[in-house]
Amino acid sequence: MNRTNILIVEDELLIAKNTAKKLEKLGYAVCKIVSSGEAAIQYVNQKQPDLILMDIAIKGDIDGIETASRIKSTVDIPIIFLTAYANDETLDRASEVGCYGYLIKPFRDRELQATIKMALSRYREDSVVKEALQSTLHEYSAGYDDIYKDNLTNLPNKLFLRDLFDYLLSLSTGSNAASSNTNSVIGSEPTQDLQQSESKLIAVFNISLDRFKRASSFLNKEQQDTLVKEIARRLTDCVTGFQVPGSTVYLESDNFVILLTPEKQAIANQYGQSILSNLQKSFIIDEQEIYLSPSIGISFYPSDGTSIEQLLQQSQKAIEYAQSQGGNRCQKFTFAFNIKPYKASDDLRLESGLHHALEREEFELYYQPKVDLQTNSIVGAEALVRWNHPEMGRIEPDKFIPLAEESGLIGSIGEWVLDCACRQTKAWHDIGLDGLKISVNLSGTQFRQSDLFHKMTRILFNSSLEAQYLELEMTETILVENIKANVQRLNLLKKLGVQIALDDFGTGYSSLGYLQQFPFDILKIDSCFIRNVDRNQVNAVITKNTISMAHELGLQVVAEGVETAGELNFLKDAQCDVIQGFIFSRPLEVKEFQKLMMSEAKLFGNY
């Protein structure tokens, strides 16, 4: 078998030689040792090693990170950074470049070997993802897969929106779609050349039918379906008439999205007017005349945002503005919509209380059991924070976590949650409930904090909880903004031994094939798909497919929000691994949870 060829970039000759010796001993081939960034770039231009070990602090004009970034701009080689000490700023810079691992000097043979193995396998996985995306896009042109299609309208559904966006991006930039996935095209900063050319514009038309719900209440189910199909038909006809690549996606009852790639914003505005006038005409359903009052919000890639999530949010703001002006109009997004003229007084009151809530010990963690469907026993719990407000009573996280994010307090609150959950779990282990796992939710701001890794290390150390019992739950919207850097961050966290769960799967706009590039261990299917899964055909197809795809990818599947025996039985049949939901238990206070754990082991057999 061919040995892996490794290039060492290291200016301290003794370390370089020592590392080379270790590598040879481990069965790798060292093809070259160079001592500067320039020499490394020159070498890579002539020969391509399979892997590069790159010292960060090398002498010369460019450091290791800059060298890596220049190499990456021409060839795709996995790079592992070596560094004597790692501060956050350096690690963040290295993450931005997209490296495949770090080694802190001095390192042992085993660390070296493990890091190389991980880097090579991640690199291979990344290549597979690229191929997977290619084939998804191929399916797109051939007719999309069932789970990406809305059965009623035959339009792609929201799970396919991201792929569609990537696809249009690849058409309009002329690059291949797979590489748009891994380069910074979808990342937070649009590259210069993307902003310059007018032909590389994507317009997102977010269409809301303001009177749809009211109109539907006068129709029976069949008539409602006919109405939705008729709206879909009018929209598809419009798009076909436009002569620019584009497509219509059905999000939910009264919400459609059209993606187009017009040459100029002015042309897009004309299209918007044309969609509007088509939808303003009455719909005749069984001789009843129905008017829907559409509001259309438009946002543009790249000027208003570079990810589909951002663009949808911006177009939604434009819709809200259009509605505030009486609806029945088409409105382009402007950044002025982001300036909030006022804050609701309740929010202000909550926010000021939030500043003191930690010191006044007003937060409390509740624990919701997770049940393994094979053994019917509790295998873990999700920690869910509550705020016991002195005047307003108990406040749910959905109300105050967003405020905590906005005001910057999420850092300290999140740290308290992690610390409290880890200590509590360790205490439970100590009284014999060993093996219990704890999941903690991480918000976007928390995940992006540069000292997260250090905080996690400290919290685990202080609580003495073994890292394997801690799961961190994150939603996809947190991760898709700056993919490469986030993959690095997750890998760093995983190095501690913690597990990563993808929370609320299905509520964002990414497909599983796309999300596969993140190193998850667990996938949590959002409760909106579990709702009536035994009776709702669409939910059933999505849930079954998600479970089997997740299993193929080696992920454990947790179903959230299971409330009925019908849903539970469906999930058992579909081989779901773990469930969480009111059918078994609501989130419980510490004492209640402990009582439940102590008293029951196999209650679940009854179902």
Query: What's the CA gap between 590 and 296, in Å, rounded?
Result: 48
Q: Which is nearer to ligand C2E, 235 or 478 (CB)?
A: 478
Burial state string for 486-511 with b = 16 or more CB within 10 A and e = fewer than 16: bbbbbbbbbbeebbbbbbbbbebbbb
CB of 562 to ligand C2E, least distance (A): 6
Could you give the CA distance from residue 417 to residue 188 in angstroms, rounded to a whole number?
A: 29
Residue 234 has φ and ψ, to the nearest 5°, of -60, -40
Q: Is 503 in the site for Mg ion (CB under 5 A)?
A: yes
Inter-residue contact 181 to 308 (CB < 8 Å): no
Please report whether residue 83 would count as binding ligand C2E according to CB under 6 A: no
> Given the complex with ligand C2E, which of 368 and 546 has the nearer CB atom?
368
DSSP state of 176: -
Residue 280 CA to residue 294 CA, distance in Å, equals 7
Measured in degrees and rounded to the nearest 5, phi and psi for residue 361 equal 55, 50
Helix or strand run (H / E) with residue 92 = helix 88-97
In this chain, which of 364, 563, 592, 600 binds ligand C2E, going by CB under 6 A? 563
Considering only residues 510 to 549 of the shown chain, the ones binding ligand C2E according to CB under 6 A are 527
385 binds, options Mg ion, ligand C2E, none, Cβ within 5 to 8 A by partner type: ligand C2E
* Sites for ligand C2E among residues 183-212 (CB under 6 A): none
DSSP 320-382: HHHHHTTSSEEEE--GGGGS-S---HHHHHHHHHHHHHTTTT-EEEEEEEEEETTTTEEEEEE
Residue 396: C-alpha distances to residues 274, 387, 591 (Å): 44, 7, 20
Of the residues 182, 561, 570, 588, which one makes contact with ligand C2E according to CB under 6 A = 561
Ranges of beta strands (E only) in 442-536 are 470-475, 499-505, 522-525
Q: Please give the Cα distance from 158 to 171 (Å, whole number).
A: 20
Q: Of the two residues 186 and 384, which places its CB atom closer to ligand C2E in the complex?
A: 384
Residue 193 contact partner, candidates Mg ion, ligand C2E, none, CB within 5 to 8 A by sort of partner: none
Stretch that binds ligand C2E, among 312-320, 397-405, 491-499, 533-541 (CB under 6 A): 397-405
- List 67, 208, 443, 546, residue binding ligand C2E (CB under 6 A): 443
Tokens of 566: 């019908």
Helices 64-74 and 37-46 pack at an angle, to 10 degrees, of: 20
475 lines the binding site for Mg ion (CB under 5 A): no
Shortest distance (Å) from residue 396 CB to ligand C2E: 4
Site for ligand C2E in 417-436 (CB under 6 A): 417
**Beta carbon of residue 583, minimum distance to ligand C2E (angstroms, whole number):** 7
Q: Which 557-576 positions form the footprint of Mg ion (CB under 5 A)?
A: 560
> Interface with ligand C2E includes 506 (CB under 6 A)?
no
Cβ atoms within 10 Å, residue 551: 15
35 binds ligand C2E (CB under 6 A): no
Give the interface segment with ligand C2E, choosing from 11-19, 334-342, 450-458, 560-568 (CB under 6 A): 560-568
Q: Which is nearer to ligand C2E, 257 or 384 (CB)?
A: 384
Computed from CA positions of residues 233, 235, 240, 246, in that sequence, does the dihedral angle turn out positive or negative? negative
157 DSSP 8-state letter? B
Give me the residue label for tokens 């490296």: 99
We find the least distance from the C-beta atom of residue 528 to ligand C2E, in angstroms, to be 10
Compare residues 262 and 561 and give the one whose CB is closer to ligand C2E. 561
Residue 504 makes contact with Mg ion by CB under 5 A = yes
Q: Are 295 and 319 in contact (CB under 8 A)?
A: yes
Residue 346 interaction partner, one of Mg ion, ligand C2E, none, beta carbon < 5-8 Å per kind: none
Binding residues for Mg ion, per CB under 5 A? 441, 473, 503-504, 560
Binding residues for ligand C2E, per CB under 6 A? 368, 384-385, 396-398, 401, 414, 417, 441-443, 473, 503-504, 527, 560-563, 580-582, 587
